[in-house]
Amino acid sequence: MRLQVPIAIGFLAGMFMIVQYFVPHPAFKTAYDALEEWVMIIGAFALVLGLQSLFQTHIDKIRRRREGYSYSFVTLISFAVMFLVGMIYGHRPGTLFDWLFDHVEVPLDATIFSLLAFFIASAAYRTFRARTPEATVLLVTAVIVMLGRVPIGELIHAKLPDLAEWIMVFPTVGAKRGILFGAALGGIATALRILLGIERSHLGGGR
Amino acid sequence: MNTAISRQILALIVAVLVMGLVVSAAVAQPPFASESPAEEETKWFNAERTNVLVVMVLYSGIVIGCIYYARRREMYIRPIAGLEAVNDAIGRATEMGRPMLYVSGLGGISGIATIASMLILGHLAKRAAAYETPIIVPCNDPLVMTAEREIVHQAYIEAGKPDAYEPDNIFYVTSSQFGYTAAVDGIMLRERPAANFFMGTFYAEALILAETGNMTGAIQIAGTDMDTQLPFFITACDYTLMGEELYAAGAYLSRSPLLLAQLKGQDIGKILLTVAIITGVVLATVGVFAVPGLVVTFLSWFKP
């Protein structure tokens, strides 16, 4: 019973979502909107659990003086400041909350994002070492695409930008579509596995 | 269990038949253009999605057929290198006495890639529990965290090690993309996990995470259906599950014949798609010289 009820609910909800995709009747639209609202409500409750987990993790880290516990102070203080400022002044444009978001949160995000440039360089260095025939093909293709996308490419050869464009439009798109087809088939099969109750590991049951 | 599955399959067949009846009723009606807006609003079937329904029913039938076949005979399933390496990764972490890190991406609970990732986590946690190797799971969605806690807890119970389960190892970090990335990078540098798993939906943070893991010397296995992030994972990780392999992983790790049948169904689906693509190419080529209407009719079946 502990397994059957969740499987039945999952099956009915899943079948409804499939059927509503094909049925434009307003009754189905209303039911679909209601289900979406349910998900949002459940999400709001889960956020409380998430916050509990956040506090628990960091308070425990501070209490046990684990490595890097000082950062936990920063996290908890930052949370408290943003929470209080948001509650007192609101979060509309021009408020202190908005200012803190734009001048602290956004630059911090941008800093982490900018690391990507350095990581791309190190990853490209490792990948483009022509140690195997496949890596050589990759290296040559990448050089053509990179040169074809910058002005100097046209100076080297007038047809280089066209060749780069051809690589991007035909072989690349072909490979990407192959992956997408496979992913779509896998997604449907996984959904079917869960709907039929064949996969039960997420419910804590044997198969 | 087989009786239960038969009942569920029967229920699905009934549901598909009901949908078929709806389709028949819709097809029997006059086309949209001749109806008033009020009639159009109360229609019971969107005829423009008939092709989607046909492909879905056909493919579902193939997968269900494979499941039935798997109950009677053993099937050969092609080996997937990335999944064969999972045991090595767990073994390495156990030998080194270090934890494993599992990242299920930035997708929400409703994303099918996240669900596939959670299924993989269940199988992985069961094996990790058997060796009493800690598994750290930082989450960026509270709903995913709640579900993953339950999955890992159950895996420890099934492995007979309920006392070894540490709920604090599965925790919520933040919903901010780069805040989450910074936190996971910090965990990799401080805790030095011996094995990193990146399974699910990833965006720009994919390479930042994988390169940081690479610097720490951890064995890394990634899997995603995001085609834009796959090259980064292939570059920085030891093994990468591409697209469909992510969805196959849960079944593959379980080694259950019924679940493995899904892989066979996927392969048959791919063969049919390949045949459709080749047919399209031939018709498009023929259409250049003669009968262009043939190509238009064929292609209209694959358009929304």
Q: Categorize the per-residue pLDDT at A205 as very low, low, confident or very high, splitting at 50, 70 and 90.
A: low
Q: How many residues does chain B have?
A: 304
Count CA atoms within 13 Å of residue A98 on its CB side: 7
CA distance B196 to B213: 7
- Render B115-135 in DSSP notation, one character per residue: HHHHHHHHHHHHHHHHHT--E
Is residue A201 within 8 A of residue A16, CB to CB? The reply is: no
The whole-number pLDDT of residue B15 equals: 55
The whole-number pLDDT of residue B34 equals: 46
Contact B12 A195 (CB under 8 A): yes
CB-based contact, B14 to chain A, within 8 Å? no
Least confident of A18-32, A126-140, B169-183: A126-140
CATH 3.40.50.1220 intervals, chain B: 82-254
Residue B194 has phi, psi (to 5 degrees) of: -80, -25
Q: How many CB pairs under 8 A join A and B?
A: 225
Contact A25 B43 (CB under 8 A): yes
The whole-number pLDDT of residue B25 equals: 46
Contact A183 B147 (CB under 8 A): no
B18-22's contacts with Cβ under 8 Å and 24+ in sequence apart are B19/A18, B19/A19, B19/A22, B19/B53, B19/B57, B20/B57, B22/A19, B22/A22, B22/A23
Query: Mean pLDDT of all residues in chain A?
Result: 89
Task: State which H helix or E strand residue B47 sits in.
Answer: none
Q: β-pairing, B219-224 with B170-172? A: unpaired
The whole-number pLDDT of residue B177 equals: 95
Count CA atoms within 13 Å of residue B153 on its CB side: 10
Q: Show the beta-strand stretches assigned E in B202-254.
A: 219-224, 239-242
β-partners of residue B240 are: B222
**Cα end-to-end distance, chain A, whole Å:** 15
Rg (CA), chain B: 23
| CA distance, residue A158 to nearest chain B CA (Å) | 29
The whole-number pLDDT of residue B293 equals: 74
The whole-number pLDDT of residue B217 equals: 94
Contact A112 B181 (CB under 8 A): yes
Cβ contacts (< 8 Å) between A22 and chain B: which residues? 19, 22-23, 45-46, 49, 52-53
Nearest to B41 among A26, A126, A203 (CB): A26
Is residue A185 within 8 A of residue B266, CB to CB? The reply is: yes
**Cα end-to-end distance, chain B, whole Å:** 39
CB-based contact, A22 to chain B, within 8 Å? yes
Cβ contacts (< 8 Å) between A201 and chain B: which residues? 119, 122-123, 151, 154-155, 250, 254
Nearest to A50 among B44, B145, B246 (CB): B145
CA distance A70 to A114: 25
ipTM: 0.87
Instruction: For B82-254, give the CATH class.
Output: alpha beta
Across the range A22-51, mean pLDDT stands at 90
Interface of A with B in 45-64 (CB under 8 A): 46-51, 53-54, 56-57, 60
**Each residue's pLDDT tens digit in chain B (304 positions)?**
455 555 555 555 555 545 544 444 444 444 444 455 555 566 888 888 888 899 889 999 998 888 888 877 777 777 888 888 998 999 999 999 999 999 999 998 888 999 999 999 999 999 999 999 999 999 999 999 999 999 999 999 999 999 999 999 999 999 999 999 999 999 999 999 999 999 999 999 999 999 999 999 999 999 999 999 998 999 899 999 998 899 988 888 887 777 778 888 888 999 999 998 898 888 888 877 777 777 777 777 777 6
Chain B interface, best mutation among A188, A194, A195, A200, by max B CB count within 10 A:
A188
Is residue B142 within 8 A of residue A43, CB to CB? The reply is: yes
Across the range A45-53, mean pLDDT stands at 90
CB-based contact, B116 to chain A, within 8 Å? yes
Is residue B294 within 8 A of residue B284, CB to CB? The reply is: no
